Amino acid sequence: MSSIPSLESLHAIGAAQQPRYPDRARLDAAVARLRGAPPLVFAGECDDLTEKLAAVSRGEAFLLQGGDCAETFDGVTADNVRNKLRVLLQMAVILTYAGSVPVVKVGRLAGQYAKPRSSDDETRVVDGESVTLPAYRGDAVNGFDFTPESRIPDPQRLVEVYHASAATLNLVRAFVTGGYADLRQVHTWNTDFVKESPVGQRYEVMASEIDRALSFMSAIGADPEELRRVDFHSSHEALLMEYEHAMTRIDSRTQQPYNVSGHFVWIGERTRQLDGAHVEYFRHLRNPIGVKLGPTATADDALALAAKLNPENTPGRLTFITRFGAEKIRDGLPRLVEKVTAEGVQVAWVCDPMHGNTFTSSTGYKTRRFDDVVGEVQGFFDVHRALGTWPGGILVEMTGDDVTECIGGGEELDEHGLAHRYESVVDPRLNRVQSLELAFLVAEMLRA
């Protein structure tokens, strides 16, 4: 399949979760700008990631995918990107050591600017009066400020997404190849965490094992290039038809269509309808792709999606990202995995322990319990282990900063502590310490 359906035909199918732009001419102008913009990623890099994800589907590698629920334009700063990257690299070292398999590192960044919403509107009480405005759909669409002007979808924001993504990816590429990602450096950050944080002290044994492994390598004079640099890929939910379609190009080498705005793109839980526009668009792409599967997904849904999205059953091409919730995963996941496996469908299984575990705190914040996050990952491991399949990885919403958005973890953040530093514009993220703690806990699951 070497062509892409037209934007008009995708809209004719009735794409879900799209903004209603008031000014068609400005939208067309933004799309034209994007169509002429250089690619952010290369087709060959996407193929490399497909190969790595094929290893995940064979049980020979583990995926670590993480970043904000929604990036913001204001968040494109050196500090923010660096802190996030640092924690991801720290998590990856812990998981690599414990799993004794390569960890495929994918940032949920450089493009994660559009959000599906469960309601088109948002109502708040302003000066004692109830006010209803269009919902915030991510910086790609409208502004977070609760004013009528800010909530109008502005197509110029799509062009801004491109530039913000380019700046982020440029920084990430520089960091991961320019010495910042050196394994010894990353391990030093982990030992600092273990030494300085009361939470970290619980993981002293594993940190000192890694220490000894590194000392051994240094003693024998091993200094491979692999210690100094890492492969890192970008990903986002490809939600907005205008943006994703404009960033889809026919690769000159293979004559195949690639979305060149990110290496890995996924279909969200709200847009995975088999006959929907997103599935129709995605099935033409050659990038590695993911589909979220929530508790309402049946095994037949999963099989039908696989047949449509990966008809050649290419390993690494398709990742199923399950997000059942800690309560439901042990009951819901086995029937999916069993049937998909029995049919010989090649897929990488990844756990999103975030989106099935969201609730509103008594203090009014959208939050998650750290224990539920850990509980869902544990359920995911247990189910796969029982079935003899490979728990291929995790997708987490996290940040490198010390925010207070999720409850619990070793620092025992409670509902009242959320107000202290709640910065997310959409879903709550694990903070730095919670992310590292999760990595150590998942490391123990990998080793068990």
Least distance from ligand PEP to the Cβ atom of residue 327, Å: 16
Least distance from ligand PEP to the Cβ atom of residue 194, Å: 30
Residue 171 dihedral angles phi and psi, to the nearest 5°: -65, -45
Options 355, 368, 384, 429; binder of ligand PEP; rule CB under 6 A: 355
Here's the x/- map for ligand PEP, 11-40, by CB under 6 A: it reads as ------------------------------
C-alpha to C-alpha distance for 117 and 275, rounded to whole angstroms: 20
Residue 117, annotated ligand binder? no
Q: Are 395 and 429 in contact (CB under 8 A)?
A: no
Contact partner, 105, from Mn ion, ligand PEP, none, Cβ < 5-8 Å per class:
none
Residues in binding contact with ligand PEP, number by CB under 6 A: 10
> Does the protein bind ligand PEP through residue 269 (CB under 6 A)?
yes
- The string over 406-440, giving b where at least 16 C-beta atoms fall within 10 Å of a residue's C-beta and e elsewhere, is bbbbbbebeeeebeeebebbbbbbbbbbbbbbbbb
The angle formed by the CA atoms of residues 316, 320 and 321, to the nearest 5 degrees, is 125
With H, G, I as helix, E, B as strand and everything else as coil, classify residue 257: strand
Contact partner, 345, from ligand PEP, Mn ion, none, Cβ < 5-8 Å per class:
none
Residue 154, annotated ligand binder? no
Residue 323, annotated ligand binder? yes
With H, G, I as helix, E, B as strand and everything else as coil, classify residue 394: strand
Residue 269, annotated ligand binder? yes
> Does the protein bind ligand PEP through residue 406 (CB under 6 A)?
no
C-alpha to C-alpha distance for 295 and 166, rounded to whole angstroms: 35
Can you read off the two tokens belonging to residue 3?
Answer: 């062509």
> Does the protein bind ligand PEP through residue 69 (CB under 6 A)?
yes
Contact partner, 116, from Mn ion, ligand PEP, none, Cβ < 5-8 Å per class:
ligand PEP
With H, G, I as helix, E, B as strand and everything else as coil, classify residue 107: strand
Enter the DSSP assignment of 413: B
Residues 424 to 443 in contact with ligand PEP, rule: CB under 6 A:
427
Contact partner, 292, from Mn ion, ligand PEP, none, Cβ < 5-8 Å per class:
ligand PEP
Place of tokens 């590292």: 436
Residue 427, annotated ligand binder? yes
C-alpha to C-alpha distance for 338 and 388, rounded to whole angstroms: 10
Contact partner, 269, from Mn ion, ligand PEP, none, Cβ < 5-8 Å per class:
ligand PEP
Least distance from ligand PEP to the Cβ atom of residue 40, Å: 20
Least distance from ligand PEP to the Cβ atom of residue 234, Å: 15
Q: Which residues pair with 299 in a beta bridge?
A: none
Nearer to ligand PEP, 157 or 355 (CB): 355
Q: From 18-26, 133-141, 264-272, 299-307, give the range in contact with ligand PEP by CB under 6 A.
A: 264-272
> Does the protein bind ligand PEP through residue 151 (CB under 6 A)?
no
Going by C-alpha positions, the residue among 71, 56, 146 that lies closest to residue 384 is 56
> Does the protein bind ligand PEP through residue 290 (CB under 6 A)?
no
Q: Are 181 and 229 in contact (CB under 8 A)?
A: yes
Can you read off the two tokens belonging to residue 16?
Answer: 């879900």
Q: Are 425 and 141 in contact (CB under 8 A)?
A: no
Residue 394 dihedral angles phi and psi, to the nearest 5°: -130, 145
Nearer to Mn ion, 317 or 368 (CB): 368
Residue 292, annotated ligand binder? yes
Least distance from Mn ion to the Cβ atom of residue 109, Å: 13
Q: Are 112 and 68 in contact (CB under 8 A)?
A: yes
Going by C-alpha positions, the residue among 363, 367, 371 that lies closest to residue 426 is 367
Least distance from ligand PEP to the Cβ atom of residue 315, Å: 23
| Interaction site with Mn ion (CB under 5 A) | 69, 427
> Does the protein bind ligand PEP through residue 268 (CB under 6 A)?
yes
Going by C-alpha positions, the residue among 179, 291, 196 that lies closest to residue 230 is 179
Least distance from ligand PEP to the Cβ atom of residue 361, Å: 19
Contact partner, 139, from ligand PEP, Mn ion, none, Cβ < 5-8 Å per class:
none
Q: What is the CA radius of gyration of the chain?
A: 21
> Does the protein bind ligand PEP through residue 278 (CB under 6 A)?
no
Can you read off the two tokens belonging to residue 320?
Answer: 């199923």
C-alpha to C-alpha distance for 377 and 199, rounded to whole angstroms: 20
Contact partner, 268, from ligand PEP, Mn ion, none, Cβ < 5-8 Å per class:
ligand PEP
Nearer to ligand PEP, 427 or 437 (CB): 427
> Does the protein bind ligand PEP through residue 116 (CB under 6 A)?
yes
C-alpha to C-alpha distance for 437 and 227, rounded to whole angstroms: 23
Options 292, 368, 384, 429; binder of ligand PEP; rule CB under 6 A: 292
CA pseudo-torsion sign 368, 370, 371, 374: positive
Residues 196 to 255 in contact with ligand PEP, rule: CB under 6 A:
237
Which residues make up each annotated binding site for phosphoenolpyruvate?
108, 269-270, 292, 323
Site residues (vs ligand PEP, CB under 6 A): 69, 116, 237, 268-270, 292, 323, 355, 427
